[in-house]
Amino acid sequence: MIHFKIILSFLLCSQFFLAQDRKIYGVVKDSTGSVLPGVNILVEGKQTYTTTDFYGNYNIKANSADFLIFSYVGMKSKKISANPEEINVTLQADTIVEDLLPPVIQQKKPKYAISRVSEEDLKNGNNPNYNFNKNAKNNLFVIFISSFNGLQKEDFDFQQKYKILYSGPGSYSAKYLNKYNKLTFEYLTRKYKKDWLSEVRQDAIGLKKYSN
């Protein structure tokens, strides 16, 4: 009887831990090894979702019994068990089925493309002016936020409305991030006046200084 109770307790504890949400994280790339910003990640059967940041990084809460669906325009969607905590994904070229996504994160084909890294890019890796101008030529506009712990519905709405991508700070210095974001803020103000200021995330790096 005691032996049975021990087994039962073990099974109940196992079920409890399986049902607990924990942070899943990783990087999403294409078949050439280039990172993919703006990939949608959805926990199947739930309203939990996020997107990859500028570096292709993501994190999302899920339990080990869940499945994650990775979707991106022009790529085959991929469904993966959320069992390991670190899940790095490679997406293959194809047309995705947008019905997999809830309406709030339906994608349109992105206007930007991630170009290959040149010698000049490596030389100017820590030059915010160079990187901003290069990204702008590819219609890629980024706002660095203090921490990238998933996005809310209003964040997705902002990204879609202003054609902006939120990203975590990566390994850049505070000076770099402040300067880069200032260039993005100036671009937004030129294009949308100051309408965006009331909708942007308040943890956007350098926002307080810019808006004062």
pLDDT for residue 95: 47
pLDDT for residue 153: 83
Give 10-residue mean pLDDT values along the chain (212 residues): 54 51 91 89 86 89 92 87 93 59 47 61 87 89 85 86 88 93 98 95 96 89
Please provide the DSSP assignment of 43-64 as one string: ETTSS-EEE--TTSEEEEEE-T
pLDDT for residue 139: 86
Task: Identify the CATH homologous superfamily for domain 20-93.
Answer: Carboxypeptidase-like, regulatory domain (2.60.40.1120)
Q: Over the range 53-74, which residues count as b (16 or more CB within 10 Å of their CB) and which as e? A: bbbbbbbbbbebebebbbbbee
pLDDT for residue 13: 47
Helices 128-137 and 174-192 cross at an angle (nearest 10°) of: 40
pLDDT for residue 70: 93
Both tokens of 51, joined, read 């997107």
pLDDT for residue 29: 94
pLDDT for residue 78: 93
CB 158 within 8 A of CB 207: no
pLDDT for residue 212: 86
Domain boundaries, the chain: 20-93, 119-209
